[in-house]
Structure 1
């Protein structure tokens, strides 16, 4: 993947047993507002759900920016709560280079 090309990152996951969408929405929003949107190279983020499944699509200016955000995620203030509300074994992240 070219390091200077824009990328779209798609993350899918299942909510942890007993966690409702209504409980998870504000936690997901906190991750976006407190961490992801403040990362260099961030363009946009959308979250969607279907049943107990959650999907997030994030646009980045570059693959490097996307990776830097992922590398810093664990130290984000809201990350612990976010991770406690999902099934981590179900998390799948894929990056796609923008077709220009």
Structure 2
């Protein structure tokens, strides 16, 4: 999903996990990254925040029109909260704008 984009942060473990899953398993894994205190998810989010590339975060992805129906409102709210805590004022608008380098 991210490999073709220049993010300066290759989410290798995330891509490997998703490649080995499909359907509900991939959605459950995504939920775990957002809701739990999963160290790998938190580290990836922090690294993307440091790089100014939260658009590529799992949190932003679950808010995108393309995937939002796969996730329930409590999960989308958790994603909004995490993005807002990282300084993103309007997470839904942020997630649905075109990608940029910053």
* Structure with the larger RCO, 1 or 2 (CA within 8 Å, 6+ apart): 1
TM-score range, shorter chain: 0.3 to 0.5
Q: TM-score, normalised by structure 2?
A: 0.35
Higher helix share: 2
Higher strand share: 1
Q: TM-score, normalised by structure 1?
A: 0.36
